[in-house]
Structure 1
Amino acid sequence: MAPSTYPTLRNVLSMASQMAPLGLLALCVSLTFLIGGIDLSIVAVANAGAIAAAMTSTALEPSLGAPGASLVGVAACLAVGVIAGVINGTLVSQLRVHPIPITLGTMALFTGIATGVTGGATQFGTGSLGFLGSGTIAMVPVSFLLFVIVVLALAIITTKTRFGFKMYAVGASDKVSRFARLEVEKVQVRTYMLSGFIASIAGLVMFAGSNAANVSFGSSWLILAILIAVLSGVDPYGGKGRVLLVLLAVVGMQQVQTGINMALGRWDGASFAAEFTFGVLLIAVLGLNRRLGKAERRKLRKKSKSEEIQQGEPTLATPA
């Protein structure tokens, strides 16, 4: 439907640059999915971190220069993400309430603080971080390379470390994990802290690409991040999935989004069609995963019963 624009190198590179912030946000959702939680404040955290980077770098530019001020701004952005993650993790672990209402509340809290600080106005930086947002290495966007590095690092953490094992254990059953004397609360706090840190990296990439930050940026990305996490196979109920597959899911999701926009670009309802498609996909994939999960559990129960029957049957004596 768009043969002259879609299958081109320019479009592929454009899609790669757009994948980074959305993919990073999807990683945040996937990590909290693994422990049986969810983080709905990721976009608010990303925007708050970007605003911190913009305001800090602008304020310190006269005294430190653009490069030095930008480095301090990066540190401020990452610090905001870590602090927000600690707040989320502490509330989830101590209140023991489902993380949906908690992170909805912190989403409003972080958005409100950022709005109060900026007055709702867009904040601009020094422009020194442009290479992170729009630079390339061997024609590959730097932001996409950063996203791949974060994916690989999280894949190692979740599958090759003791902390990753604890994440899967807590996601499978926090009650059993407590009986096994696992530090469930510490695992939850560290996971949400890691989610906040990655969300701040996403905010930094967003800020570097446009040299601007606002509390309203990326407002529609939350549902896309959740959809990508579900498409990657991470179980929203916890304990199952591989973070590495988020890379494949975000590539497929970006192709769908760009394809719809290009094919229906001349139609005024193109944006509606894309959002409608994402909503249908999310509901369909959740329903399919739920149905496949039930079928798998039934097979496991039948298998265990057949094994018990076989073990309980008396063995015939071999004649002499």
Structure 2
Amino acid sequence: MIEARLGPRAHMILLVALVVVLAVMLSALAPNTFPTLRNMQSMMGQIAPLAILSICIGITFLIGGIDLSIVAVANCAAITAALVGEAMGPDAGALGMLAAGGAALAIGLLAGLTNGYLISRSRVHPIAITLGTMSVFIGISTGITNGATVFGNGYLSGLSTATVALMPMTFVVFLVLLALCTVVTLKTRFGFHMYALGESDKVARFSRLPVGRTILLTYAASGVLAAIAGLIMFSSTNAANVSFASSYLMQAILIAVVAGIDPYGGTGRLWAILLGAAAMQMLQTGINMSLGSWSGASFASNFIWGVLLIAVLGLSKRLSTRKRRTREAEVEEKLEAAQPEAA
């Protein structure tokens, strides 16, 4: 039991140490550029959409699932915002912004409810369901735009340029969403249901917990969060395309796992995504500094993320198996101790 309690704490200490070491190393290597306010703001702006997508992965991990459609949903929401904004006209102002943002969030909610309904009703593994819906959303977005990039009227550009307490507004949005999701998962009955479902689907159903509703609401939240990430990406470029952020899915999964959220469900704290995202962003900065203007930098980055994802998932699987075996052994010991001694 002591080992189980120390595990997550040791992981958090290691993660904090990784962030500190990376910050010190990069500051030493580039003292005139890395530790500056402008660079910090740039990094926070880059972290925001990816970290929000990591929350999507994190909440579905907690219930023992996964949402592979988040990037497709984000792009579909961004495309919807661009098309609605264009239809409203350049002079719509705040009304145009509300219409574009509301339409994008509605798309995210619909996509999430679709995923949740299919997973809860069919009881097919979420990988298969969300992989299928990912293709559906990509097909819809491609059909609407013919694969071309669509541009907005700049309604949402203020979201990417505004700052709050020297932090980009987009990063503040991420922090608010992360805090909200952390409170919901740790302090509410719904959060208890999420952890219980991730711990054991069979036990949750046997205990008559609202499994179907928990799955439906979790994936609905994932869809809305993905749409918000899409709006943030759209606000920074004023453009949307079905192929944008293609590498974000892999990176979001990596961040969630690095943050200590068990892909097999029932373990992890969402707030650690902040540390995981910071560590990954610093690694990306270090890779960019090392590779410079090399033409193969993009390939090398994807290769590194892939290797890291495989390694971290493998380690997570070993730790998860060890944890479950320890828990099973503890249960067996309690059952043996509860049995009356033979006369």
Task: Provide TM-score, normalisation by structure 1.
Answer: 0.92
Q: After superposition, what is the alpha-carbon deviation per residue over 1:226-269, rounded to whole angstroms, capped at 9, x for unaligned?
A: 00111111111111111111111111111101111122113233
1:139 aligns with 2:166: yes
Q: 1:292 and 1:69, CA in 2 relative to 1: closer, same or farther beyond 3 A?
A: same
Aligned equivalents of 1:129 and 1:263: distance in 2? 34
Aligned to 1:168: 195
Aligned to 2:83: 55
Larger radius of gyration: 1
Amino acid at match of 1:234: I
Aligned to 1:318: none
Aligned to 1:37: 65
CA apart distance, 1:164:
0.7
Q: 1:311 and 1:70, CA in 2 relative to 1: closer, same or farther beyond 3 A?
A: closer
Q: 1:19 and 1:311, CA in 2 relative to 1: closer, same or farther beyond 3 A?
A: same
Aligned to 2:236: 209
Q: 1:259 aligns with which of 261, 270, 286?
A: 286
Aligned to 1:281: 308
Percent identity, please.
Answer: 53
Aligned equivalents of 2:149 and 2:202: distance in 1? 45
> Which ranges of structure 2 fall in alignment gaps of 5 or more residues?
1-28
Aligned to 2:22: none
Amino acid at match of 1:35: I
Aligned to 1:7: 35
Contact preservation (8 Å) 1:2, 1:263: no
Contact preservation (8 Å) 1:151, 1:244: yes
Amino acid at match of 2:200: S
| Farther-moved stretch of structure 1 (163-172 vs 145-154) | 163-172
Alignment of 1:173-212 (within 5 A): 173-212=200-239
Q: 1:121 aligns with which of 148, 157, 163?
A: 148
Q: After superposition, what is the alpha-carbon deviation per residue over 1:144-185, rounded to whole angstroms, capped at 9, x for unaligned?
A: 000000000000110111111111111111111111111211
CA apart distance, 1:96:
0.8
Amino acid at match of 2:57: V
Q: 1:263 and 1:97, CA in 2 relative to 1: closer, same or farther beyond 3 A?
A: same
Aligned equivalents of 1:55 and 1:93: distance in 2? 32
Amino acid at match of 2:185: T
Aligned equivalents of 2:119 and 2:337: distance in 1? 45
Amino acid at match of 2:192: F
Contact preservation (8 Å) 1:34, 1:235: yes
Amino acid at match of 1:255: M
Aligned to 2:4: none
| Farther-moved stretch of structure 1 (30-39 vs 125-134) | 125-134
SS in 2 for 1:126: coil
Q: 1:184 and 1:300, CA in 2 relative to 1: closer, same or farther beyond 3 A?
A: closer
Q: 1:93 aligns with which of 120, 133, 153?
A: 120
Contact preservation (8 Å) 2:264, 2:320: no
Q: 2:104 aligns with which of 42, 54, 77?
A: 77
Task: Provide TM-score, normalisation by structure 2.
Answer: 0.86
Q: 1:126 and 1:3, CA in 2 relative to 1: closer, same or farther beyond 3 A?
A: same
CA apart distance, 1:301:
5.0
Contact preservation (8 Å) 1:70, 1:126: no
Contact preservation (8 Å) 2:262, 2:320: no
SS in 2 for 1:216: coil
| Two-structure CA RMSD over aligned residues (Å) | 1.9
Q: 1:38 and 1:127, CA in 2 relative to 1: closer, same or farther beyond 3 A?
A: same
Amino acid at match of 2:306: G
Number of paired residues? 313
SS in 1 for 2:93: helix
CA apart distance, 1:126:
1.4
